[in-house]
Structure 1
Amino acid sequence: MKIKYQYNLLLFFILALSCTSGSKQNYIYYQDQGEIFATGYHIKYAYNRSLEEEILAELHKFDMSLNPFKENSIITKVNRNEPVELDSFFLKVFRRSEEISRTTDGKFDITVSPLINAWGFGFQNMDSVTPEIIDSLKEFVGYEKISVDTEGNIIKTDPRVQINTSAIAKGYACDVIAELLESYGIENYMVEIGGEITAKGVNDKGECWRIGIDKPIDDVTGMLHDLQAVLSLCNKSLATSGNYRNYYIKDGKKYAHTIDPVTGYPSQLDILGATVIADDCMTADAYATAFMAMGMKRSVETARTIPGLHYYFIYEKSDGSFGIEYSEGFEQFFVKKDGGSLGSE
């Protein structure tokens, strides 16, 4: 599973206010930004007034449902085995997670946190992680060890099972805010939360929203950025997961900060960065995570079975250079430059 370190996206925000055409000529583009879920958000939309209060209220409700670091959130109570009524946010994320776990043969798994914690963010103590420790943790790691019954109750095969939906919840939060904006009749917006994005309509220049993908530069600071491609996003959602700034080397091999839920060990680097475009951001977010653990071959095979899903992979070749692999039809999202596609470099 991915750990949210540095989001490998550059967002091109146009700060100038402008008017849209036609019947919405009096609308201006508002921009709200702040922090939620220990990450930042940027929301831009065309309307006749600011919806900042309504957006914050919706984000707060979402936070109290799925933030595992909130003392009284629903997910925290589930992890503590306390009685709790599951809300629609929790149920939708949980059931979608189950579905994606089955599709990916467990490479996407919201119960993987104990393994992530064992390896540690920096892998400084990786030599102290033994096969025995991994085997003991795997006793209560696995998506099939927790379920929701027909009456909406959590069922665990082991009380030690805990869940963390960070690899899918931020994408779903984008969808939730998009639904809020659309409930006000808003047709042009871009919602970005922690690097996950959903967009509809056009920006204040009358163009599809512009999203940048970073080149895989070895830079642990996360401060260096050079664009691999610029994408044009209209009426789609996008998520990116990347390991090229977060890995360690042992015995000459690179290991990612992506933990394979099936093996219990860090994934060996194959795909360095996975960008996924889908009709909803929850789907894009989850599969961007899963593909990092699945590797190139299985990811491509799985992606072909999912209608409306597009991928753009950056991977390391055997000679140490970088390669690009993207799905058929992905060309439609490239922003052209000097008559060519940035994505084909």
Structure 2
Amino acid sequence: MLPIMADNGTFYYHIQGVAEGTSYSILYQDDNDRNFQPEIDLLLATFEKSLSVYDPNSIISRINRNEDVAVDDFFSSVFRRAKAISSITEGAFDISAEPLFKAWGFSAEKRSIPDTEQIHLLKQHIGMDKVEIRGNKVIKSHPNVVLNANAIAKGYSSDIVASFLEQKGCLNFLVEIGGEIRLKGVNTESEPWRIGIDRPSENNPIPGQDLQVILQITDRGIATSGNYRQFYTENGQKIAHTIDPSTGYPVKHNLLSTTVIAQDAITADAFATAFLVAGLDKSLEWITDNNIKLDALFICDEEGEYKVYYTSGLEDKIVECN
């Protein structure tokens, strides 16, 4: 626990660790000088036992093996939110699309381009209409339905840690888990938190090294999805990790990065993924037609130049835009 003195003389504390196959970084202000890391680590470990596909004994892993297992509140909350957002985004967000990612080599060691027949067969068992919760059990339409909640779970875990800190009386904090962020109050300079959005360049491999936009916000969840770091080249063809569940193929549009700011990080996380699948125009259409209470920032490649688009709610939140 690293203490940091704020401008107003109070102390913030910085803790770091590993969870959900990624890292976390948390900065919180506490007048009682308490070290919350042991409790947060335990909370995140419990969360992993529910939704981590990296844990073979987690609830989601056992469901994927078609074992008879009851879901807990963590799983139920994530599943129901995922299903709702999948409906709003016309299936662009889909936690049952894991087989497609494996087929394209993003969740497996072997990298290869699947043929049309393979994609057709996989798509038969993909879609949130093919899985539901009845009582405390997950019911699948077919044993081959497989779930992976990574595109929403990290956001939800940030919300869970934020709720924990609020219960402890912390008024100011930043919770970041695997890049998904939940903010409250002010930073050590008594200002809204500053969040950098990376320039979506293949030559920018280190997060935070080269920023395209800096936002100043608070009391929100924020998540960014991009396809410029996770890709591979096969037979001269660039294969990006953003797969459209409706087609079974990697997306091909000029949207490189999408950042979503919402009331909570679970919402921001899921919509950031869906928007990256759908592209700029469709994403803006969803925001308008569904009256979704969120803001979004998009970075597109327009003839080799990065162009930034954003919703009106961010006009006074952007402090730097390159």
Quick check: 1:313–1:326 contact (8 Å CA) kept in 2?
yes
Corresponding position: 1:290 with 2:279: no
TM superposition shift of 1:213? 0.9
* Residue deviations 1:117-158 (CA, integer Å, cap 9, x gap): 0011399522xx110000111111111110002x22211110
Amino acid paired to 1:277: I
Which residue is equivalent to 1:235?
Answer: 219
Which residue is equivalent to 1:125?
Answer: 112
Distance 1:221 1:203 in 2: 27
Which residue is equivalent to 2:55?
Answer: 70
Amino acid paired to 2:15: D
Distance 1:231 1:41 in 2: 20
* Residue deviations 1:266-296 (CA, integer Å, cap 9, x gap): 1113210001100100000000000111111
Percent identity between matched residues is 43
Aligned counterpart for 2:18 among listed residues 32, 35, 54:
35
Scaled by the length of structure 1, what TM-score is found?
Answer: 0.86
Aligned counterpart for 1:316 among listed residues 298, 301, 305:
301
TM superposition shift of 1:79? 1.0
* Residue deviations 1:309-337 (CA, integer Å, cap 9, x gap): 001000112x23221111012122212xx
TM superposition shift of 1:256? 2.4
Which residue is equivalent to 2:245?
Answer: 261
> Would the alpha carbon gap of residues 146 and 223 (structure 1) be closer, same or farther in structure 2, given more than 3 Å must change?
closer
How many pairs align?
Answer: 316
Corresponding position: 1:143 with 2:128: yes
Alignment of 1:1-345 (within 5 A): 17-19=4-6, 27-47=10-30, 48=32, 49-121=34-106, 124-126=111-113, 129-149=114-134, 151-219=135-203, 221-222=205-206, 225-247=209-231, 255-304=239-288, 305-317=290-302, 319-335=303-319, 342-343=320-321, 345=322
Amino acid paired to 2:83: E
* Residue deviations 1:9-29 (CA, integer Å, cap 9, x gap): xxxxxx7622575xxx7x521
Which residue is equivalent to 1:10?
Answer: none
Distance 2:37 2:142 in 1: 42
Superposition RMSD in Å: 2.1
Quick check: 2:262–2:268 contact (8 Å CA) kept in 1?
yes
* Residue deviations 1:220-267 (CA, integer Å, cap 9, x gap): 744793211111121111100011233456899755210111100011
Which residue is equivalent to 1:8?
Answer: none
Give 4+ residue runs of structure 1 displaced > 6 Å after superposition.
249-253
Distance 1:250 1:77 in 2: 33
Distance 1:212 1:102 in 2: 30
Amino acid paired to 2:71: L
Unaligned residue ranges in structure 1 (runs of 5+)? 1-14, 336-341
Distance 2:285 2:256 in 1: 18
Greater length-normalized contact order (CA 8 Å, ≥ 6 residues apart): 1
Amino acid paired to 1:110: I
Distance 1:159 1:110 in 2: 15
Distance 1:64 1:297 in 2: 38
Amino acid paired to 2:246: V
> Would the alpha carbon gap of residues 232 and 35 (structure 1) be closer, same or farther in structure 2, given more than 3 Å must change?
same
Scaled by the length of structure 2, what TM-score is found?
Answer: 0.92
Q: What SS is found at the alignment partner of 2:70?
A: coil
Amino acid paired to 1:274: T
> Would the alpha carbon gap of residues 250 and 52 (structure 1) be closer, same or farther in structure 2, given more than 3 Å must change?
closer
Quick check: 1:45–1:190 contact (8 Å CA) kept in 2?
yes
Distance 1:84 1:124 in 2: 32
Amino acid paired to 2:193: W
Distance 1:77 1:252 in 2: 38
Quick check: 2:14–2:26 contact (8 Å CA) kept in 1?
yes
> Would the alpha carbon gap of residues 301 and 254 (structure 1) be closer, same or farther in structure 2, given more than 3 Å must change?
farther
Distance 1:107 1:192 in 2: 25
Q: What SS is found at the alignment partner of 2:174?
A: strand
Amino acid paired to 2:165: L
